[in-house]
Amino acid sequence: MPSREEVAYFGAGPAPLPTSVVEAGAKAFVNYNDSGLGLAEISHRSPTANKILEDAKNSLRTLYDVPDNYEILFMQGGGSGQFSAVVQNLVSIYVERRRRQAEEDFIKTNPDADKQTIADLVALKLRKEVEEDLKVDYIVTGSWSLKASQEAARLLGPKYVNVAVDAREHNDGKFGKIPPEDTWKLTPTRKEQGKGSAYVYYCDNETVDGVEFPGFPKSLEAQGGGEGDERMIVADFSSNFLSRKVDVSKYAVIFGGAQKNVGIAGISIVIIRKSLLPPETASPPPSLLHTFNVGGLPGSIVLDYAITAKNNSLYNTLPIFNLWIAAEVMADLVKKHGDKKIGGQEEIANKKAKLIYGVLDKYPQVYNVVPEKSVRSRMNICFRVHGGDEQKEKEFLTGAEKKFLQGLKGHRSVGGIRASNYNAVPMENVERLVKYLDEYASGQ
């Protein structure tokens, strides 16, 4: 049996963890800090759990320079759970902001009307506006953003979902590129047509298809026309979390499942602008939401951002062991990179990806990188061997396994080869993979 040091694991998730964290976790699972209890056994409301929670928040704030006007939440359900959470929370916020504006307008024009009359007029106006104007925008560039858009359509109804981009339409029916931004069909902002989408969603890195946005999309930049003219940007960072610098202030919500770069499956991380939480913004009354012809509202209480924030991520039982793993990983990054913060990890991630893509490009007759060069993922490197020849790819994987290079098989939906270059994959393991890629191609 191979030792942990002998295996170079490139699986897409659950992904490898730093060995030091795994070893410390084994002890903490049995007896945490000589308390006689393991971390999976302690109360999630205990002082110990609260300290772990605060440590995790502080490390993340440090790494990403999270502004003070943002809250950090730890939830359950992974990235897929956030597909639903985004819908129920941000559409509710969209409704509440319009409700407040309508109420203010009616009070001005009907100063003598009683509260019930105002409430009835507001509800009538809102139902009409939601029916006619509500849209959520999705930029679909891979399998996960596609699933997110499908979940929005399932919850709300297809008429409310605007797929502003479907990259397959620009790439012979397959994912692998991000179309030019001048082809995106985003819902116009309110300033332009008195309307606007509840939010715009995109996935920053597509694990299955090996596509990563090279930077923040220019068409989503703030327009400078005030709150009503700004798009609410939501980004799924599940598979490139903590791998490069991010300007958090550009986003309404950032989320990610933990099991790629941060920890183990079981928790998700949400960074949300505080203005979207009470007291600045509250969810509209459930009784009002029930009157709309829109599904998915008000939604599950355990996915409610406001409830989660109010209860410091402890409304229901948060898996503290999972949180502790994430906190240890982040603390290790803080210690490792110092003043460089996440920029230090970005340098390493870029260097590792450059080595792998370099050897793949060196042998174009053997290897074919799937995505377009300008949008190649640094985290999930997807390629085919001999044009996708099934037997050749099987031989390639068998040869890799013999050298303890594991987790290289592509996602079942697309096949091929995928080397996931997450933070915990050490440089020496990347060098081992590069050596094998070179040897394999030279022998063909």
DSSP 8-state secondary structure symbol assigned to residue 438: H
Q: Is 101 exposed, middle or buried (0-12, 13-18, 19+ CB in 10 A)?
A: middle
Sign of CA dihedral 351, 356, 358, 361: negative
For range 336-359, the mean pLDDT: 98
Q: Which CATH architecture has domain 341-442?
A: Alpha-Beta Complex (3.90)
Q: Which CATH architecture has domain 64-321?
A: 3-Layer(aba) Sandwich (3.40)
Query: Which are the contacts of 12, defined by CB distance < 8 A and separation ≥ 6?
Result: 207, 208, 239, 260, 380, 407, 411, 418, 420
Hey, which residues does 249 pair with through a beta bridge?
Answer: none
Query: How high is the pLDDT of residue 191?
Result: 53
For range 234-239, the mean pLDDT: 98
The pLDDT tens digits for 155-201 are 999 999 999 999 999 999 999 999 999 999 999 886 544 468 999 99
Number of H helices, E strands in the chain: 12, 14
Distance CA 220, CA 231 (A): 7
Q: What is the mean pLDDT of the chain?
A: 94
Q: What's the angle, vertex CA 157, arms to CA 153 and CA 160, rounded to 5?
A: 85
Query: 296: pLDDT confidence band, cut at 50, 70 and 90?
Result: confident
Query: How high is the pLDDT of residue 189?
Result: 80
373 residue type, one letter: K
Which run of H or of E encompasses 271? strand 268-273
**Would you say 242 and 424 are in contact if contact means Cβ atoms under 8 Å apart?**
no
Query: 113: pLDDT confidence band, cut at 50, 70 and 90?
Result: confident
Whether the domain at 64-321 and the domain at 341-442 fall into the same CATH topology:
no
pLDDT over 80 (residue 339)? yes
Query: Which residue's structure tokens are 């797929």?
Result: 163
Query: How high is the pLDDT of residue 60?
Result: 98
Specify the 3-state DSSP secondary structure of 372: coil
**How far is Cα of residue 170 from the mean position of the Cα atoms in its chain?**
24
Bond preceding residue 286 cis, omega within 30 of 0:
no
Complete DSSP assignment for 291-327:
TSS-TT-S--GGG-HHHHHHTTT-SS---HHHHHHHH
Which comes out higher in pLDDT, residue 422 or 224? 422
Query: 333: pLDDT confidence band, cut at 50, 70 and 90?
Result: very high
Q: Which two tokens stand for residue 272?
A: 């949300």
Which of 33-47, 226-240, 313-327 shows the lowest per-residue confidence on average (mean pLDDT)? 226-240
The pLDDT tens digits for 358-393 are 999 999 999 999 999 999 999 999 999 999 999 999
Beta strand extents in 115-218 (DSSP E only): 136-140, 161-166, 200-203, 205-206, 211-212
pLDDT over 60 (residue 229)? no
Q: Is 45 exposed, middle or buried (0-12, 13-18, 19+ CB in 10 A)?
A: middle
Q: Which two tokens stand for residue 117?
A: 């009359």
For range 305-324, the mean pLDDT: 97
Sequence spans of domains, the chain: 64-321, 341-442
For range 252-273, the mean pLDDT: 97
Q: Which two tokens stand for residue 382?
A: 């997807």
Distance CA 402, CA 55 (A): 41
pLDDT over 50 (residue 122)? yes
pLDDT over 50 (residue 48)? yes
Bond preceding residue 111 cis, omega within 30 of 0:
no
For range 91-97, the mean pLDDT: 93
Distance CA 50, CA 311 (A): 11
Query: How high is the pLDDT of residue 443?
Result: 87
Specify the 3-state DSSP secondary structure of 21: helix
Distance CA 305, CA 268 (A): 12
- Which of these, 335, 355, 337, lies nearest to 346 by C-alpha position? 337
